[in-house]
Amino acid sequence: MPDFQTLLIYIIPLLFAITLHEAAHGWVASKLGDHTARMMGRVTLNPVKHIDPIGTLAIPLLLLISSAGFIFGWAKPVPINFNALRSGKSGMIWVALAGPGANLFMAVCWLFIMILAIKINISVLIEMGRVGILVNCVLAVFNLLPIPPLDGSRVISALLPNHLAYQYNQLEQYGLFILLGLMFIGGFNYLVLPVVEFLLIWFQYALVLLG
């Protein structure tokens, strides 16, 4: 069982990563004409508004306690009315990419926090920065998988003709089972891990150059 400090080192970056991810979806949607998320109070950095008991709390805690070697989770999806978006399908793509984009932005922020922490020698913050970069890279890549209802599937759906998009979106009811199946057979090791490792290499280069 991890100690309290270790829990904070992991939970704080994860909460920020998930919160910013969902808030970004709502913020971009609002800018493009759909104010559903804003009216429901979801365009906020308050993590309480985005917490899903299973995806934000139970799953990450279980992975951490079990020493699974990785940690991820999800929040309550931000409600988006794609029909209200002024720019139609292109708006759908921008809204979908806003979440992973926010995670990559957060990873860069954690990089600079880590650089500062190294300079003033705060070990807890150094480790939190490392976790923050890792968690945000994992969430960005994971959410770009083309499996409904992940963000990558929204991009694919927007690019498909309407009749094919409709059929493709029907997979959403099986999405959780597909993801759990991939996790069980180790599919993430081939689909997510290589891209995450590629990103981490570049963050390591940046740390050396800027540190």
For 54, counting Cβ atoms within 10 Å of its Cβ (0-12 exposed, 13-18 middle, 19+ buried), the class is exposed
Secondary structure (3-state) at 173: helix
Nearby residues of 185 by Cβ (< 8 Å), 6 or more positions away: none
CA 107 to chain centre: 11
| Residue 172 annotated in active site | no
Instruction: Please give the C-alpha separations between residue 200 and each of 102, 137, 192, 205, in angstroms, as whole numbers.
Output: 17, 8, 12, 9
For 95, counting Cβ atoms within 10 Å of its Cβ (0-12 exposed, 13-18 middle, 19+ buried), the class is buried
Catalytic residue among 22, 127, 172, 197: 22
Give the residue numbers annotated as catalytic, written as ranges.
Answer: 22
